[in-house]
Amino acid sequence: MTELRFIQTDITTVSADAIVNAANSSLLGGGGVDGAIHRRGGPEILAECRELRRTRYPDGLPTGQAVATTAGRLPARWVIHTVGPVYAKAEDRSALLASAYRESLRVADQLGTKTVAFPAISAGIYGWPLDDAARIGVSTVRSAGTAVGEVIFVLFGQDTYDAFTSA
């Protein structure tokens, strides 16, 4: 059974086998968690992302999917990049958000990781309501059937931490 842990810190400082990047589909960096991972991890991550873009994802990584690269200078071995959905009140996109978590764990299993650190996918600039994002993230990880021994939800800010620990 996978143990869940919740901490409030910067995901780029977490020592885990893999950290999950709430990436944009271009895989080329951006703001929030994505930008922080690229800045702190260094050029190796961007170089691998460019190669993935050139060879496998010329139109970008699809929403809900995941792919891994090196972690560069981060205290992790891998970065698992996943694209969460942008929240749309008029359309239920919760299956895509759940898929981002499940696919990240699938990639983690393929890599043989034992610890994976997740941010609050889609709960930042993508506008997903925090309590709902937390409920979907925690319930999806709990039911994923993964070989990962520990999932660490790395949460930025007290409100995010509170929402995830309540979920």
Report in angstroms the alpha-carbon separations of 156 from 10, 50, 56, 90: 7, 28, 31, 27
Residue 141 parent element (H or E): helix 130-142
Catalytic residue from among 34, 92, 109, 159: 34
- Residue 143's Cβ-count burial label (10 Å; 0-12, 13-18, 19+) is exposed
User: Which pair of tokens denotes residue 98?
Assistant: 């759940």
d(CA 68, CA 92): 27
**Is 159 annotated in the active site?**
no
The residues annotated as belonging to the active site are 34
